[in-house]
Amino acid sequence: MEAISLIGPNTEALLLENQDNFLVPADNVATVMYQHSLDHALLVLTNVGYSKIPVLDKDDRFMGLIGLNDIVQKMVSLTTIDTDHLAGLTVADVMEIGVDTVREDAALEDILHLLVNNAFLPMVDDQRIFLGIITRKEILKCTNHLVHELERQYLLVPKQPGGSDTETATDGLKVS
Amino acid sequence: MEAISLIGPNTEALLLENQDNFLVPADNVATVMYQHSLDHALLVLTNVGYSKIPVLDKDDRFMGLIGLNDIVQKMVSLTTIDTDHLAGLTVADVMEIGVDTVREDAALEDILHLLVNNAFLPMVDDQRIFLGIITRKEILKCTNHLVHELERQYLLVPKQPGGSDTETATDGLKVS
């Protein structure tokens, strides 16, 4: 089945004009291994200053996400907060699995939708090898570019509502 | 000095068409008071599941932000992680100050730029009373709407490059 894009070609081109910044490549992303201790993961997260980072296996396959919250929750019992509760636990025990990911050929459409509910999206290849992340921050940069350039580069002519012009213009598009 | 918007009127109208969801009002935002203990702030942050929340004073004035990271960093000494290090500290001791905020009449332009480097923006009135937050998530929703509707509602006619049309179109705009 052929995917039908609901995003117009001029819009997509403008949004992606600075696409070299779109993906944060794996080399620039802080990660932990799933067999690492939670103590170690806590130190990594604290050092990098992010609230959530990807979890990989020894072959760089994407396994899930781990956040400061996941770890601190393990430290909190009914009335006390104690790092002793972390003893013996690994990243694999608390990481978030079933995380939304995208492939290299993901449609902009899908990326934008998934980023509404995810602060970032891990990108993986067909072996689940971790390639990097797409962040809301990078999309925000592209959105800035789009909204600034749109009416500098194009004259926006309203389409006739309900008329035959509209029929032609939306030809091939499925409007939900 | 009059502010010159670099975002075209049709673009802005489309982006803000669902604006009722733009601001997350103060009543729906988890906050802590600046004189609260760090133990308390840690429990609040863990319960709400956010990595960073606003800090208010007793009159609901916005004072800064506090994140899980700020607190965990206080727990970490050279070789150990211990909640004992939190004893006696309050939110005011570790919160982030000098945070970017916006007013109710903020230009979309400024909001979009500030959100590139901030996951959310506190909105305050002229007494610094906290009104709520604008999040990247809400902007992503609006971006989705914009890119889906743009070429359904408008025909994009390229402006003449290098011609006098362009001169007119960019009149008054400073292009960096």
The per-residue pLDDT for range B9-46, each reduced to its tens digit, is: 888 888 888 776 579 999 999 999 999 999 899 989 98
Res B176: pLDDT: 42
Cα B104 to Cα B125: distance, rounded to the nearest angstrom:
7
Nearest to A147 among B11, B43, B67 (CB): B11
Cα A39 to Cα A71: distance, rounded to the nearest angstrom:
9
Assigned domain for A71 exists? yes
Assigned domain for A166 exists? no
Res A100: pLDDT: 97
Average pLDDT over residues A121-137: 96
Assigned domain for B4 exists? no
Nearest to A140 among B72, B73, B136 (CB): B136
Domain that holds residue B121: 9-153
**Hey, are the CB atoms on B81 and A117 less than 8 Å from each other?**
no
Res B83: pLDDT: 72
The yes-or-no verdict on residue B1 having pLDDT over 60 is no
The mean pLDDT of chain B is: 85
Instruction: Give the residue with greater pLDDT, A115 vs B13.
Output: A115
Assigned domain for B140 exists? yes
DSSP state string for chain A: ------S-HHHHHHHTTTGGGSEEEGGGS--EETTSBHHHHHHHHHHH--SEEEEE-TT-BEEEEEEHHHHHHHHB-SS-B-GGGGTT-BHHHH-B-S---B-TT--HHHHHHHHHH-SEEEEE-TT-BEEEEEEHHHHHHHHHHHHHHHHHHEEEEEPPTTSHHHHHHTTT----
Assigned domain for A122 exists? yes
Share of chain B above pLDDT 90, in %: 55
Res A132: pLDDT: 96
**Hey, are the CB atoms on B152 and A173 less than 8 Å from each other?**
yes
Res B174: pLDDT: 45
**Hey, are the CB atoms on A69 and B81 less than 8 Å from each other?**
no
Average pLDDT over residues A131-143: 93
Q: Cβ of B7 under 8 Å from any chain A Cβ?
A: yes
Domain count, chain B: 1
Assigned domain for A136 exists? yes
Res B4: pLDDT: 62
Q: Suggest the residue from A156, A160, A174, A175 to mutate for an interface test with chain B (most B CBs closer than 10 A).
A: A156
Q: Give the A window 80-139 contacts with B, CB below 8 Å.
A: 81-83, 108, 112-113, 115-117, 119, 136-137, 139
Nearest to B154 among A46, A140, A156 (CB): A156
Assigned domain for B91 exists? yes
Cα A65 to Cα A91: distance, rounded to the nearest angstrom:
9
Residue B106 C-beta-side C-alpha neighbours within 13 Å: 23
Assigned domain for A129 exists? yes
The yes-or-no verdict on residue B2 having pLDDT over 60 is no
The yes-or-no verdict on residue A168 having pLDDT over 80 is no
Cα B14 to Cα B154: distance, rounded to the nearest angstrom:
11
The yes-or-no verdict on residue B67 having pLDDT over 90 is yes
Determine the length of chain A: 176
Q: Suggest the residue from B145, B148, B149, B165 to mutate for an interface test with chain A (most A CBs closer than 10 A).
A: B148
CATH code of residue B132? 3.10.580.10
Res A33: pLDDT: 97
Written as one letter, the residue type at A58 is K
Residue B166 pLDDT class (50, 70, 90 cuts): very low
**Hey, are the CB atoms on B157 and A159 less than 8 Å from each other?**
no
The yes-or-no verdict on residue A14 having pLDDT over 60 is yes
